Amino acid sequence: MLALVGSGEYLPDMDMVDRILLELLGENPAVVCLPTAAGTEGAERIAYWSKLGVNHFKNLGARVEAVPVITRQDAQDVALAAQVRAANFVYLSGGRPDYLLAVLEDSLVWHSIQSVLEHGGILAGCSAGAMIFGEKIPGFPAWRRAFNLLEGAAIIPHFDEIPPWIIPMLRLWIGRRRRLVGIPGYTALVVDGNACKILGTGSVTLWDSYEKRSYSHGESLKW
C-alpha cells in the first residue's frame, strides 16, 4: 500500500489521514520516519524533520523512530536497513527528489522498504517522497527514471500552490503518455494494488490522454 501526500507531513492537519493509515495496520503499527530527502539541508533541518515525525506519530499512539538514512553510505548500512525492515509503516518526508532517489536506489534500505511492502506494510511519501513513486521525476536536461511504483505516473506535489495557468504547460511537459497526478497539501492518494482512495482536505487531479478529473476525500478509483 502506498500513500502519496502533496505536502504538510507530520502537521496536525494530517492527523486524520495518518490515523486512518495506522488503523489499516491493526493493533501494532511500527513507524519509521526517514528524513533522507532533506539530506543536503544540514543537520538542523534533518533533526527538525526527524523530531517532527516522531512527535507526530507518538501523538497518534504509534510506536515510531527516526532512522538517519542521510547518505548513500547510510542506505547501505546493514543495521539501518534492519531497522527499516522491522517496521510496517515507512514514511519518506520532503526535500529533494533527485537526492532521495540517488541515495535509495538499489540500496539495502530500499530493499528493506520493498520487503515492508511485500509483507503488507505501508510506504508513505510526502512531496519529494511521493515524487519518487512515479515513473520519472523532473530533471534537466531530461526527466530521470524513478521507482515506477505508480506505473506511468508523474507525481506533482504541492498542486494547490501551482498557478492555474502553469498546469496546462505541465501537462505538455509531462507528455501524453504519462498520467499527471496532482496532489495538494494535507491530502493523500492511497494506492492498494490498482484500487485508489483519496484521503484529506483537498482534491487529487488525475490527467491522462483521455480526460482530466478531480477526486475528493472518500472517493475511490481504479488505476
- What is the structure's pLDDT at 172? 83
pTM value > 0.85: yes
* pLDDT > 80? residue 100: yes
Residue 170's pLDDT band (cuts 50, 70, 90) = confident
**Per residue in 8-64, pLDDT tens?**
999 999 999 999 999 999 889 999 999 999 999 999 999 999 999 999 999 999 999
**Per residue in 106-126, pLDDT tens?**
999 999 999 999 999 999 999
The domains located in the chain, with CATH, are 2-222 (3.40.50.880)
- What is the structure's pLDDT at 178? 87
How far apart (Å, rounded) are the C-alpha atoms in residues 195 and 220?
A: 7
Amino acid at 215: Y
**Per residue in 129-157, pLDDT tens?**
999 999 989 766 678 899 999 999 999 99
Give 71's DSSP letter: S
Q: What is the dihedral of CA 27, 197, 153, 5, to 10 degrees?
A: -60
Q: Are strands 144-145 and 122-126 parallel, antiparallel or unpaired?
A: unpaired
| pLDDT above 70 coverage of the chain, percent | 99
Q: Please give the backbone phi and psi of residue 188, each rounded to the nearest 5 degrees, phi first.
A: -130, 140
Only one residue has cell 538517519, namely 68
- What is the structure's pLDDT at 169? 87
**Per residue in 194-214, pLDDT tens?**
999 999 999 999 998 888 999
Only one residue has cell 484529506, namely 200
Give 213's DSSP letter: E
Q: Is 179 in contact with 207 (CB distance < 8 Å)?
A: yes
